[in-house]
Structure 1
Amino acid sequence: MEPTYVLSDAERDELYGVLSAVDKSPYEDYSAFSRAVGDLVDRGEVPAFFTEVCGRVRNDRETGAAEAHVLRNCPLDAEIPVLDLDDPVADKHAKKKTFVGETFLELFAQLVGTPLLSYGTRFNGDFFIDVVAINRYSGMQTGFSDSELVYHNDRTAHPVRADFISLLGMRSPDGDYIYTGFVDGRDLLKHLSEEHQEVLRQPHFFTPYDVFSRDNNGDLTVSEKHAILENHHSFRYLDTSTTVAEGSPEIAKDALLELKNALVRADKTRHRILTGDLFTFANQDGLHSRDKMEINDPERARQRWLLKTYAFRNQAAADRHADRWIDGVQGRVGDK
């Protein structure tokens, strides 16, 4: 995928200087950290080019012009530690003492108008999480493994799901080619009949929770019955896992099969996230995947590290879940 915008080295360095001035930790007090980033905006310290780029992304989303964007040559921390993949979260907290990447993602979310989301039972409730190959999940279908991932949206089984996902390339090893695939929900609709679209809009389906979610909360097993198709082109679907609920009409199976066929036929975008790339895309108005196109050094490839955020579409979308906030922290939700 071609970048929406490529920062010059001078622009990257200018933005780095602004971001590195924030002295709050996003892991110790996210609310204070978020306010400190907002202060950069209020004081007019954000370079004009970046405000303009974020405005373009926001406009594309609001008008439907694009559901996926890439920014290249983004500022990162001066030192990117190598994480212990037995417990990368604890190791990151021990080693990573600067938060330029996190500040960049927070600033992007604020300028685009998409408040961040986190889950209280995952990664200590952190708003900035690490897409890395955790050793105990090797080969499993979870984003925190070294495996490929089928087309899906994140947290399919969970009642609160992000509208957008942003992935910042902290380390993308040279010589190994891992791509993030994306299919726009509108392209899926083109291959679904009106009859089957209507069936997919009914709560005839369910999705099991992924292994990582179950490990973090043993009460999680499967979702409630849910529709697959919502709004105009939002999909709640995890390929090979979302299936027809008991007692559903026979046509629900036909509709699910047609969706699987549509997923094969629909136009797709693929992007290899390089170090310093921001890949941001719709989580519900599309589906995404992980494709290992060419791995020449499996151990090197396992050091790939993406810093990830979940986000609501806008403040109104966040406010609809205000009764779920944990400890009064906006955006941090529970499992029930």
Structure 2
Amino acid sequence: MTIPLCELTIGYEFSDAGRDAFAAALAGVILSPYKFYEPFRRQASAVVDTGGVPEDFLAFCRALRDRDRAQEPVVLVRNAPIDRDVPPFDPDDPVRSKYRLKTTFVAEAFLEVFAALTGVTAIGNIDIAYGDVYNDIYPKRSAWHTHSSKGLLSQPFHKDLGSQPIVPDHIHMLSMRCAPENDVCTSFVRSVDMLRELREDELDLVREPVFFTPADPATSYDTGGVYPSHPILTGTARMRFTQGRTRGRTPEAEAVARRLDEQPGRFRKRVQLMPGDLAAVSNHLSLHAREVHEVRDEEALRTRWIIKSANLDDTGPYRRHLVAGTDYLMSDEVA
């Protein structure tokens, strides 16, 4: 029997009985978040209001609000309620296939409840996956050969949507399907560890807007090679950096960027996210990656599936991006 790798501390683990009772309550959320997000959200809130959430999980979620996020930017929950026995999606169009094949919404309701209990707000982006709040890390045939979220190859350490106008504060990733015999990990490194060994002059330099990050050509529009300058570090630990892609505009900046490339391999924590594992990630205070080391079952890798949501601490600063008539759907264009 293959034992899944886990180098993260487990923050909370559901008992089988607690998971099943919670799943039964969440199964009452019958409206699709992909068609009727706002009524879906109200149904999920009702699960909390009617006592459907285990008391100790309520306490755990509320305690997370007060943790030191820089020191604990990744929280792992195990054995969470999810939808079981969902068939594989069409690899040529997995998103539209999901709309047809996924007819229960336990996982999405769990993510909605978790966001609410931890004091963050799930958002959608009208320019990403049809505006869905819940998106899939799921291989797509046309992207199998890429390092993107829809590829089968390793993905470098990065923060999600770091170059976009709306950068999520938190990424929640809930594993739905993963084969433990494949050595494929989701890996994390804290920003404080990335910065730990920089000299004072290097710390000063990474706060300067003398870096740029070319977009992933597999997932982004061609910009004609024009990329805005940005700092790597703001505040004490908020980073914008993509391993192997962020570059310096001066020799000194380039040298620091290449030094930072080496840090994830030294300080990373790896986990094989098994079905029901939730990784809640502080997006500004850590970087994450997909590491594909050994594949023993290619077909299982092609159906590996994680549901992901983007979340904000406060939607107020992004109010001008809200699509008219909604309080969650964003656009990169200012309204």
Q: TM-score of the superposition, structure 1-length normalised? A: 0.90
Post-superposition offset of 1:198: 1.4
Amino acid at match of 2:37: Y
Residue equivalent to 1:56: 63
**What SS is found at the alignment partner of 2:328?**
strand
Amino acid at match of 1:331: Y
User: Is structure 2 residue 183 aligned with structure 1 residue 177?
Assistant: yes
Post-superposition offset of 1:173: 1.7
Post-superposition offset of 1:269: 0.8
Post-superposition offset of 1:289: 0.9
Distance 1:136 1:38, change over 3 A: same
Residue equivalent to 1:254: 255
**Residues 26-74 of structure 1, C-alpha deviations (whole Å, 9 max, x = no match):** 1112222222222332344322122122123333255x55111111111
**Residues 267-315 of structure 1, C-alpha deviations (whole Å, 9 max, x = no match):** 2211110011111222220111111132101122111001111112x22
Residue equivalent to 1:310: 310
Post-superposition offset of 1:110: 0.6
The worse-fitting range, judged by mean Cα deviation, of 28-37 and 283-292 is 28-37
Is the contact between residue 142 and residue 211 of structure 1 (CA under 8 Å) also seen in structure 2?
Answer: no
Post-superposition offset of 1:2: 3.7
Post-superposition offset of 1:148: 0.3
Give distance in 1, aligned partners of 2:27 and 2:243.
40
Post-superposition offset of 1:13: 0.9
Post-superposition offset of 1:222: 5.5
**Residues 4-41 of structure 1, C-alpha deviations (whole Å, 9 max, x = no match):** 22111110011011111112221112222222222332
User: Is structure 2 residue 224 aligned with structure 1 residue 239?
Assistant: no
Post-superposition offset of 1:134: 0.8
Give distance in 2, aligned partners of 1:24 and 1:136.
31
Amino acid at match of 1:46: V
Amino acid at match of 2:327: Q
**Residues 106-137 of structure 1, C-alpha deviations (whole Å, 9 max, x = no match):** 11111011111322111101010110111111
**Residues 81-130 of structure 1, C-alpha deviations (whole Å, 9 max, x = no match):** 21111100000001111100100011111101111132211110101011
Is the contact between residue 179 and residue 304 of structure 2 (CA under 8 Å) also seen in structure 1?
Answer: yes
Is the contact between residue 137 and residue 149 of structure 2 (CA under 8 Å) also seen in structure 1?
Answer: yes
**What SS is found at the alignment partner of 2:171?**
strand
Residue equivalent to 2:47: 40
Residue equivalent to 1:151: 157
User: Which residue of 12, 29, 33 maps to 1:22?
Assistant: 29
Is the contact between residue 141 and residue 149 of structure 1 (CA under 8 Å) also seen in structure 2?
Answer: yes
Residue equivalent to 1:228: 232
Is the contact between residue 171 and residue 274 of structure 1 (CA under 8 Å) also seen in structure 2?
Answer: yes
User: Is structure 2 residue 272 aligned with structure 1 residue 269?
Assistant: no
Amino acid at match of 1:293: H
Amino acid at match of 2:319: A
User: Is structure 2 residue 300 aligned with structure 1 residue 294?
Assistant: no
The worse-fitting range, judged by mean Cα deviation, of 79-88 and 156-165 is 156-165
Post-superposition offset of 1:201: 1.1
Post-superposition offset of 1:221: 6.8
**Residues 212-270 of structure 1, C-alpha deviations (whole Å, 9 max, x = no match):** 5426xx6797553211111211111111222234xxx44322332332244444x2211
Give distance in 1, aligned partners of 2:195 and 2:158.
16
**What SS is found at the alignment partner of 2:66?**
helix
**Residues 93-112 of structure 1 mapped to structure 2, 5 A cutoff:** 93-112=99-118
Identity %: 29
The worse-fitting range, judged by mean Cα deviation, of 64-73 and 108-117 is 64-73
- Alignment gaps of 5+ in structure 2: 1-7
Give distance in 2, aligned partners of 1:327 and 1:212.
31
- Alignment gaps of 5+ in structure 1: none
Is the contact between residue 22 and residue 37 of structure 1 (CA under 8 Å) also seen in structure 2?
Answer: yes
User: Which residue of 320, 323, 328 maps to 1:323?
Assistant: 320
Is the contact between residue 157 and residue 208 of structure 1 (CA under 8 Å) also seen in structure 2?
Answer: no
Give distance in 1, aligned partners of 2:45 and 2:60.
17
Amino acid at match of 1:272: Q
Distance 1:117 1:145, change over 3 A: same
**Residues 70-109 of structure 1 mapped to structure 2, 5 A cutoff:** 70-109=76-115
User: Is structure 2 residue 72 aligned with structure 1 residue 66?
Assistant: yes
Give distance in 1, aligned partners of 2:277 and 2:264.
26
**What SS is found at the alignment partner of 1:320?**
helix
Which has the larger helix fraction? 1
Give distance in 2, aligned partners of 1:43 and 1:223.
50
Q: TM-score of the superposition, structure 2-length normalised? A: 0.90
**What SS is found at the alignment partner of 1:150?**
strand
